[in-house]
Amino acid sequence: MSNHSIHEKPTPLTTPLNIGIAGGGLLGRLSAWQLARQGHDVALFESHTFDHPKGACWTAAGMISPLSEIVHCPLPIYEMGMRSLEIWPRWMQTLQNDLNNMADSLAETNTPLKFAHLDSEHSLYRQAGSLVVAHPQDWAELSQFRADLKQKLSSLNPSHQTASAARPQFEARIEDCNQQRLAVLEPALEHFQQGLYLTQEADIDNRRLLNRLLSLLKALNVNLIENTPVMCEPHIITTLHSNRPTAHTFDCVIDCRGLGAQVKNDELSADRTCKHMLRGVRGEVLMVQSSEITLNRPVRLMHPRYKLYVVPKPNQHFVIGATEIESDDMSPMSLQSNLELSSALYTINPAFSEARIIEQSVNCRPAFMDNLPRVQSQDGLISANGLYRHGYLLSPVIVEDVLSQLTSLMRPTTFHAQPIS
């Protein structure tokens, strides 16, 4: 991250700018939406299609789970995640208002609504907490997870506070559940004898969010350029879709390409050492459909090898993931991974045995060596990358940091940019 505080809110720029954004995934769309709402001219470049992104944002389960992550991740991930829990509801309300205004405007001009459907019984954002459960053979791991979680949360308090003073903070966020309590929260989990209820966590319907953001970007007249790989440098995005690269100039370029911004070993310079290199971390997920199971919130299953989760989606779909393999291999899911994910799903509830596999997905998460995100800026260029497996957990904070850095970079006299024809 940059030196900006994660609690610092960006100050909107008063002078409209011409902004080029490389990467049409979650970061790119959120940044484009926020900037277009402020009245800036925005061009968004994507190397694939906007309707079906190839990045991890499409494959992800969309969990916003800072408490679950604090045990295994550096403290900044938790801090940024808690900040995201404050931002997401506000942004979702703004997004819905924008969609409603768009629909009203189209209705007034008798223009058919060609964008994402606005009416749905399913909310984009759900803050119903999450559950952590374990089978008897893994109860020791669940107990250790609880102890580590309590210790990490206690360490957030000033050093002079006693353990008893930290207890209310822990109990307000984490509830120990016996079998009866689990059955109330999730009847489909009534056979589990113990678990933890992380009350503050949330999840988001990521694919519908991406589609709705795309609808808004179209309505806001963002210049959407797809199927176009690019290179980024200060003030310039160079398109590489033909034998004749074309340079487009902007007041500022925002690089959100994920692994598309990867630097090869032979391209490293003195100021781009190995620790600043992006790497891909392979993740595999299954999407299944079952009319026999209902879940109301994400469920994590303690597992000796993976951080396994099941996230309910609309239309009785469920996402289960995810493997975590140090590789940028994008080949199809392995038989071993399929068996492990399927077996774990079956043990959560045997009724999943009749679930239909709708999708097997593989993607690579962009990560730096320390698994922390970075927002780096220089005159005319801001780079945001390395969200690892925390895309939806951290994106709002990263976007706010990008906007803050953009404000800091811009001066009364800006680079003379030429709009794309």
Q: Do domains 18-108+204-273+370-409 and 279-367 have the same CATH topology?
A: no
- As separate numbers, helices (DSSP H) first and strands (DSSP E) second, the chain gives 10, 20
Contact partners, residue 232, CB within 8 Å, separation at least 6: 22, 238, 253, 255, 257, 261, 381, 383
Cα 67 to Cα 71: distance, rounded to the nearest angstrom: 8
Reference 322, options 342, 296, 341; nearest CA is 341
Inter-CA distances, 128 with 33, 81, 180, 310, Å:
27, 16, 18, 14
230-240 pLDDT per residue, tens: 999 999 999 99
Q: Which CATH class is domain 18-108+204-273+370-409?
A: alpha beta
**pTM of the complete model beyond 0.85:** yes
List the domain boundaries for the chain.
18-108+204-273+370-409, 130-199, 279-367
Q: Has domain 279-367 been given CATH number 3.40.190.10?
A: no
163-209 pLDDT per residue, tens: 444 455 666 789 999 999 999 999 999 999 999 999 999 999 999 99
Inter-CA distances, 319 with 104, 284, 292, 395, Å:
34, 11, 15, 20
Cα 102 to Cα 105: distance, rounded to the nearest angstrom: 5
Residues 277, 369: contact at Cβ < 8 Å? yes
pLDDT of residue 303: 78
Average pLDDT over residues 230-255: 93
